[in-house]
Structure 1
Amino acid sequence: MSTAGPVIDEALVARLISDQFPEWAGLPIVAASPQGWDNRTFRLGDTLTVRLPSAEGYAHQILKESRWLPYLAKHLRIAVPKPLELGHPAHGYPFAWSVNAWLDGQVLSLAAIPDEAALAMELASFLVELRAVPTDDDAPRPGPDTAHRGGPFAYYAPEARAALRSLDVESPVTDQVIDEALASQWASPPVWFHGDVGVDNLLIADGRLAGVLDFGCCGVGDPACDLVIAFTYLSDDSRPVFRRTVGLDDDTWRRARGWALWKAAITLVSPGAPQARRTEQKRAFAAVLRDVSGD
């Protein structure tokens, strides 16, 4: 578990920019909203963002994104962050940090969506395209650097069961979800996965998917973790559209349900989880159970 990191605010960003990239000194700096957990993001002027890891356990993500985002961008039609500069530790801030091009749009958690089924197709199509990106031998593999996304669900199953017991919601159905998620593994060659397809990492413009943010957990392995958005956001009507379009087998879908149940349980058991996230994960928990009953 990562320990508490340094204080990251506009003043720190201003000092770092002034010293290391003086051509951008004096540009207005505004904290992004909503903020992520692993990294803090600030808008710099009209066309730039600054991204800083919040603690040591996330410091590798900036280096990974700087290495792999330009490669992924060449194969993807939807916009992804474009790293421009890599900053170095200074002013008491101990990690590498990055300056990226600003991407226009509004995060999905705040956006109005006129056609959810169309969005479900766009999300699924992006994931299909991501899976098709060639996998280099040195591409990141599942493990600590991907927060174990893309690896076997077995890594998180004990935590899921413990959280469900703590919430007093463990049942034969939740046992079924976890058991089915554990019963298979990705048997095909490893493919690219994003690792954190959530409502604050998806950009919407004019009701359409316009960009995908935060590739800090990305890697190559099992793409099941990327399907969790089907339960955290999509409705019972649009979820089948997503499932058909994403084109993965039933075992992968069952592993995705396990990932979704784990995420819901650990969020709901956390007393510090924001209310918006608790509401989202209560919805996901119920959606997983309905999805099982519909099989």
Structure 2
Amino acid sequence: MHADQLTITPDMVRDLVRDQFPAWRDFRVREVASQGTVNAIFRIGDDLAARFPLKPDGVEATRRSMEREAQAASELAGRTRFPTPEPVAIGEPGRGYPLPWSVQTWIPGDIATPTDLADSIPFAHDLAEFIRGVRAIDTRGRRFSGDGRGGDLKPHDPWIETCLEKCEGFLDVPRLRQMWAELRLLPRASEDVMTHGDLIPGNVLVSRGRLVGVLDVGGLGPADPALDLVCAWHLLDAAARLQLREDLACDDLQWQRGKAWAFQQAIGAAWYYRESNLAMSQMGQVTLSRLMADGLSARA
């Protein structure tokens, strides 16, 4: 998926576990098929999951990032009725792998798709309940950091223009360009609340038609309340989407800004992963189709 992507194999993981965590030396190690774009995932036994960053970075920078992720995971754990990974350990470089790596609790469930539960009202209720639970966490005076999604929309203009250029030939770029031209003007009016920050299908676990867990919680932090609304277009069709909106009592501005964040995320996924991660690319394309079908009316 990335030109400089690191290689990590099950044999390397087994050796790293035996070297650094001998209590787990006899646990079975299995690679996990994943839509993820940041980490390779391996199960250790039945109850643990190891995450190995795919892109090279400095050792200390990677360790600091993992420590922040662990803090975020601890802060979210138990705050909703939906299980989320909890931090267990941070491993060190070794056996040919150049970076720290992390171990979390394994959360059972099936990865959601953009369409399987798209018309499910109970699933929409579950997503809204999770978002409410995250929003209820005290920000403790923290504010959005200014990096990535969750603050102002206009600073994303250069990225959006790059994405639009890359989408020529397989998406309706003139229409998408006009949509962004309107979305980018939406003002920021709400105070920061705690958000998950990445409610895409690959981070949502389901079973028997219901939400049973949420992954990749390291991005937990204060941001625009509209940020977690991206799941409305990533995962739901119109009727279920309306139910989620009603459950969260979103006003028109917050709802439209939710569209803007979903657009920003989907337009990049649609082209960047078109050849390397088909599930991510298809998610982006499905989301953009839903956004275009909704249009920009206040109640859409």
> TM-score with structure 1 length normalisation?
0.87
Q: Residue 275 of structure 1: CA displacement?
A: 2.9
Match of 1:224 among 226, 229, 242: 226
Q: Does 1:215 align with 2:195?
A: no
SS in 2 for 1:49: strand
Letter in 2 for 1:281: G
Change beyond 3 A, Cα 1:268–1:220: same
Change (3 A) 1:15 1:162: same
* Candidates 245, 258, 261, aligned match of 2:260: 258
Alpha-carbon deviations, 1:122-168, whole Å to 9, x = none?
Answer: 1011011101101135x684344xxx122222232332234224434
Going from structure 1 to structure 2, the CA distance change for 1:115 and 1:264 (only over 3 Å counts) comes to: closer
Letter in 1 for 2:282: T
Distance 1:164 1:112, change over 3 A: closer
Describe how 1:1-295 pairs up with structure 2 within 5 A: 4-56=4-56, 59=62, 60-109=64-113, 113=117, 116-137=120-141, 141-144=144-147, 148-168=148-168, 169-171=172-174, 174-188=177-191, 190-270=192-272, 271-292=274-295, 294-295=297-298
Looking at structure 2, the residues matched to 115 and 263 of structure 1 have their Cα atoms a distance apart, in angstroms, of 22
Cα shift readout 1:193-242 (whole Å, capped 9, x = no counterpart): 11111111111123211110002333211132221221122112211111
Query: How many pairs were matched up?
Result: 289
CA-CA distance at 1:13 after TM superposition: 1.2
- The superposition leaves residues 66-106 of structure 1 with CA deviations (integer Å, 9 ceiling, x where unpaired) of 11211211422211101112222223323322222211111
Q: Output the CA distance in 2 between the equivalents of 1:110 and 1:239.
A: 12
Q: Is the 8 A contact 1:268 1:278 kept in 2?
A: yes
- Cα deviation code 1:259-293 (max 9, x no counterpart): 22222322333343433333322221121112125
Q: Is the 8 A contact 1:124 1:245 kept in 2?
A: yes
Residues 178/254 of structure 1: CA separation in 2 closer, same or farther (3 Å cut): farther
Check 1:13–1:136 CA distance in 2 against 1; reply closer, same or farther (3 A cut). Answer: farther
Are 2:48 and 2:106, in contact at CA under 8 Å, matched by a contact in 1? yes
Partners of 1:177 and 1:254 within 8 A in 2? no
Query: SS of 1:129's equivalent?
Result: helix
* Unaligned ranges ≥5, structure 2: none
Which whole-Å CA distance do the structure 2 matches of 1:256 and 1:110 have between them?
Answer: 17
Stretch of structure 1 that moved more, 16-25 or 171-180 = 171-180
Mapped contact 2:38–2:53 kept (Cα < 8 A): yes
% of aligned pairs identical? 29
Distance in 2, matches of 1:179 and 1:114, equals 26
Give, in whole Å, the separation in 1 of the partners of 2:173 and 2:116: 34
Q: CA RMSD in A?
A: 2.6
Whole-angstrom distance in 1 between the partners of 2:5 and 2:189: 35
Do the aligned partners of residues 132 and 21 (structure 1) sit closer, same or farther apart at CA in structure 2, a change above 3 Å counting?
Answer: same
| 56-65 or 3-12, which deviates more | 56-65
Letter in 2 for 1:23: A
| Residue 176 of structure 1: how far off its partner (Å) | 3.9
1:15/1:136 CA distance change after superposition, 3 Å: farther
Equivalent residues of 1:66, 1:86 under 8 A apart: no
Per the TM alignment, residue 22 of structure 1 is displaced from its structure 2 partner at its CA by 0.2
Mapped partners of 1:179, 1:293: distance in 2? 8
- CA distance 1:277–1:74, change in 2 (3 Å): closer
Residue range with higher mean Cα deviation, 170-179 or 113-122 = 170-179
Structure 1 runs, 4 residues or longer, greater than 6 Å off: none
Q: Which has the larger displacement, 22-31 or 213-222?
A: 213-222
